Structure 1
């Protein structure tokens, strides 16, 4: 089995070179000098960045991927969209090559077995750095000949497991109440984990419920309908796009045209807004296999949330939409004349994309790439990369990648500030094995020469608490413009369930930075984050791993609220509109 090696530029081996890379006993500070920055092959890299293809190949279909604080990447395939009854597909369960672990410090790969089929699960990072896996595939759907009987739906599994980076093994957990195929996992502000939606294990219908894992057991099911306060009959789509807001509520943004808010205390879903987005081909406004991003939360914007949804549908759309959930966005305005908050049209992408990726960079910008104009069609693949800048609310073109990235591609920000892109599964049993690395333009000066990377803090704390003051030592303190905590990502099906950018306030001395931790767990839920120092030119340091600590008592017990009284953290303002 070939090891996975990712080469950047000429002679630079991609390595996280962080404490934590060596395993659970490592410290979080870099243990070697910063590596040389990638060599610029042409001046275009200064404006567009550049892609590099690894000489290695991906041994398993990378349907799910999570960046671990140990400096490794967990890739999960399960049966890998290769039905066991199909010739050449793996038999199971168990699946001898159901997952893989990539070590970025020495470029090795370790194949892992899975006890059950984790294909199309929900996967998210827990506050202690372990990975929770919920749901998967009980059986593949089949399509009978036209006019014949025998169509069968996909069926989901109720299974759940935890991957422990210390032992590098999966630990089976109690099952959820019913099966879940294509569920979404979301960390709540107290560290509990909520799984939502997915096809069930009986007839393949949608499991329109949520369940919460408290570290010991699953809660009783939280039913979507009739417990949606003002929208009875709503049904969650598969892989709903969910974000934890600074209110402590969960925000459902896409792919359907309805937008909802979940209060974990009352366990009530509330309709916030809905619309049919302009430019979409789906009459119900569904952005199937589009993406959703919670834009950076920073001291400058008072940690006020804004959500962006983009792409999706088939044929795909270029359109994007934005919802401002700040106090100002809650007010009736010219942008939201009838109700607030509301979706407003954002700038269009250059390329129509379905099965796309959207990844937050240390600069606070969003890398948008992958996908195609027609779903699972390599001829219409979107090789062009785009960068969205929240400050200017605009897209700019970036370098083009080399390989079509269709259904089941994955993308993750790495601790050195580069981005890994892999996968693409246009048909069952076939997947793209090449791995690509994107080096954003912040690695280059305007003449194409390597930019100077600020030195990472030699004394970054291994853990911090909310509002804690701490000091970072770096000779480049006077050049630092921003400090970013970016949560380790966990991505599948065009959505990163964990990525989150939290800016930190700081004051700079000659060789030190006095930093204040995130204000609370609604802004930064507990877990492992990459801490980047970003200089005035926009170039990031190597990241240091920092664990934001939550309260163990907060996840000791699940408290259910049978009265289910809606207690929204904000009031949705609506102007009276006479219906015709």
Structure 2
């Protein structure tokens, strides 16, 4: 008898005779019902399951359903689902920010107090297993026609070298005309820099900080279309001379989402957020990527005025819990950056959102040492990389990166079925076309599997699923044959704001989806998809559960470049071993997942593996150790910590 995930999969028992009987009634409703029931019957057959796998929607209590924007598998085996305000203006205005911790083994849920609006933050796992979450939402966008108060960026200057200036939210900036504009957030301006040469007069350089301001009253009378200097309300004497604001213009044009500087570490053991040193720059839609030394690079994002950061990147040190400046380089928001062997970063070209169409879109290799960037050619449909999926193909030693699908910039109707693979071990790497997807696809989620395949699912043809264009399909990509094979169709459509992660038992969990409209005619507003659907791959249906490989006792902290021996039930059947970094995904961007091939030596009831020494191949952190047999059926994972 093949493996059955118990209540995770519901089998429909109905025979073809019943279907034919109902169809014979020649009633459309009866025929539709019969077809649906026959479909359920067909996809529950053992042969179908062993070839295509199965899906199961989880039974989630209403009180724990949320708008999942971010999903991370923690080393406790639980999945952290972060919504923040969940792309819901009412929740934002009410200060309702949510995080749910889901235990897939027990299908249990826990509400986690959420200290700020982490909607559209960046995140990655630190070497000790804590999750670093940086940025989020300070203010929701206002579209053209919806802006009622003129506003824009105010550059606050402080010429006093003796003290910083702290201005609370709502501080007024007074124009030469007497009109007042108030800050939408608090702002701190450092003390000015003072240098005293051995000879001559001291030189003071003003410190500065940005803040968004808006008119204290509605109407076009507050529009300022030229640069001006603004006095700060409430300051007198020297303070009034030293502290002032500069604005290029304050308009009633569209106002984009605005980011925050807040940074937190989520402790997976104590299951709570811990506030740490904030970033220097506010960020909304940033990418966080782990470096070989365990530090984290934060790249791109929209700042506190809703403008994209033009190259102001930062590095987080988990030891000091502080940020420092990183090499300057511009990318559109949520760029897909992968750590490669040798320590350079590869930008696949995939991204998710904001930035001009003619800047920062070309893929290439970024050397942080000298801040050089070498573009790579060969990618077809280069204008359709927004909302594309990309990943470091398994095994990571091959150093191949794949791009799948994508769409045009912004609300474009364009989408492409293009896939492409680049071999970064080549002296002059070039993208080469891979097999095409069934149709043009945006928002495709791609997950590395323990058998070295890549599972891809969901997406939509049009922007945010417009015109009922969700794609209810899934497929496996085989890096060895460079081809796709079909998988079972998911019940739930997934587009914008969707995620997928590999679970320790070898299944894949999918979350979220944020359709713009709820009908084909695009007349009804869409609603956020809150159901969790889990895919059980074909390999789980090809073997009895008790016959799967089982990893027993062995070191929890295998050393780099050293052997580690584990007790294994079925050791003689082991064909491969993989270290798999757990997924941490948002906006179809997961730059952390990777699968590392391990050398294997089999013994009597035990298996010895060797962890590569290179931290650019195996960044420090927690990994899932999977063993697979010759048929590609994996064990359940054993969590190990690579220091």
Give the TM-score category using the shorter length.
Answer: 0.7 to 0.9
Distance in 2 of aligned mates of 1:285 and 1:150: 27
Q: CA deviation at 1:130?
A: 0.3
Q: Is the counterpart of residue 341 in structure 1 residue 438 in structure 2? A: no
Q: How does 1:345-424 map to 2 (within 5 A)?
A: 345-377=433-465, 379-424=468-513
Alpha carbons of 1:315 and 1:416: their partners in 2 closer, same or farther (altered >3 Å)? same
Partner of 1:112: 112
Partner of 1:462: 556
Distance in 2 of aligned mates of 1:376 and 1:145: 22
Q: Is the counterpart of residue 319 in structure 1 residue 418 in structure 2? A: yes
Q: How does 1:198-209 map to 2 (within 5 A)?
A: 198-209=301-312
Residue 597 of structure 2 aligns to a residue whose secondary structure is strand
Say whether the 8 Å CA contact 1:254–1:286 is kept in structure 2: no
Corresponding residue to 1:193 among 279, 290, 296: 296
Residue 400 of structure 1 aligns to a residue whose secondary structure is coil
Q: Structure with the greater relative contact order (CA < 8 A, sep ≥ 6): 1 or 2? A: 1
Say whether the 8 Å CA contact 1:48–1:440 is kept in structure 2: yes
Alpha carbons of 1:429 and 1:481: their partners in 2 closer, same or farther (altered >3 Å)? same
Corresponding residue to 1:260 among 364, 367, 379: 364
Q: CA deviation at 1:177?
A: 1.2
Say whether the 8 Å CA contact 2:135–2:261 is kept in structure 1: yes
Partner of 1:294: 392
Residue 128 of structure 2 aligns to a residue whose secondary structure is coil
Greater share of residues in helix:
2
Partner of 2:65: 59
Alpha carbons of 1:457 and 1:162: their partners in 2 closer, same or farther (altered >3 Å)? same
Alpha carbons of 1:154 and 1:455: their partners in 2 closer, same or farther (altered >3 Å)? same
Alpha carbons of 1:452 and 1:512: their partners in 2 closer, same or farther (altered >3 Å)? same
Distance in 1 of aligned mates of 2:590 and 2:489: 22
Say whether the 8 Å CA contact 1:53–1:434 is kept in structure 2: yes
Q: How many residues end up aligned between the 2 structures?
A: 479
Say whether the 8 Å CA contact 1:211–1:218 is kept in structure 2: no
Say whether the 8 Å CA contact 2:117–2:136 is kept in structure 1: yes
Partner of 1:239: 334
Say whether the 8 Å CA contact 1:473–1:512 is kept in structure 2: yes
Distance in 1 of aligned mates of 2:138 and 2:423: 40
Residue 464 of structure 1 aligns to a residue whose secondary structure is coil
Q: CA deviation at 1:153?
A: 1.3
Q: CA deviation at 1:377?
A: 1.8
Alpha carbons of 1:270 and 1:118: their partners in 2 closer, same or farther (altered >3 Å)? same
Q: How does 1:111-190 map to 2 (within 5 A)?
A: 111-145=111-145, 149-190=252-293
Distance in 2 of aligned mates of 1:453 and 1:413: 21
What's the C-alpha RMSD, in Å, of the aligned pairs? 2.3
Alpha carbons of 1:475 and 1:251: their partners in 2 closer, same or farther (altered >3 Å)? same
Partner of 1:569: none
Q: Is the counterpart of residue 475 in structure 1 residue 569 in structure 2? A: yes
Partner of 2:601: 507
Say whether the 8 Å CA contact 2:389–2:589 is kept in structure 1: yes
Distance in 2 of aligned mates of 1:513 and 1:262: 38
Alpha carbons of 1:369 and 1:167: their partners in 2 closer, same or farther (altered >3 Å)? same
Distance in 1 of aligned mates of 2:55 and 2:455: 13
Alpha carbons of 1:366 and 1:459: their partners in 2 closer, same or farther (altered >3 Å)? same
Residue 539 of structure 2 aligns to a residue whose secondary structure is helix
Corresponding residue to 2:532 among 429, 435, 443: 435
Corresponding residue to 1:248 among 314, 336, 343: 343
Residue 495 of structure 1 aligns to a residue whose secondary structure is coil
Q: CA deviation at 1:455?
A: 2.7
Q: Is the counterpart of residue 71 in structure 1 residue 165 in structure 2? A: no
Say whether the 8 Å CA contact 1:179–1:207 is kept in structure 2: no
Partner of 2:186: none
Q: Gapped runs of 5+ residues in structure 2?
A: 12-42, 148-219, 221-251, 351-359, 408-412, 517-524
Moved over 6 A (4+): none
Distance in 1 of aligned mates of 2:547 and 2:362: 43
Q: How does 1:561-580 map to 2 (within 5 A)?
A: none
Distance in 2 of aligned mates of 1:386 and 1:403: 15
Can you list the C-alpha shifts for 1:442-469, whole angstroms capped at 9, x where unaligned?
Answer: 1233xxx757643322113211121111
Say whether the 8 Å CA contact 2:579–2:598 is kept in structure 1: yes
Partner of 1:528: 622
Q: CA deviation at 1:490?
A: 0.4
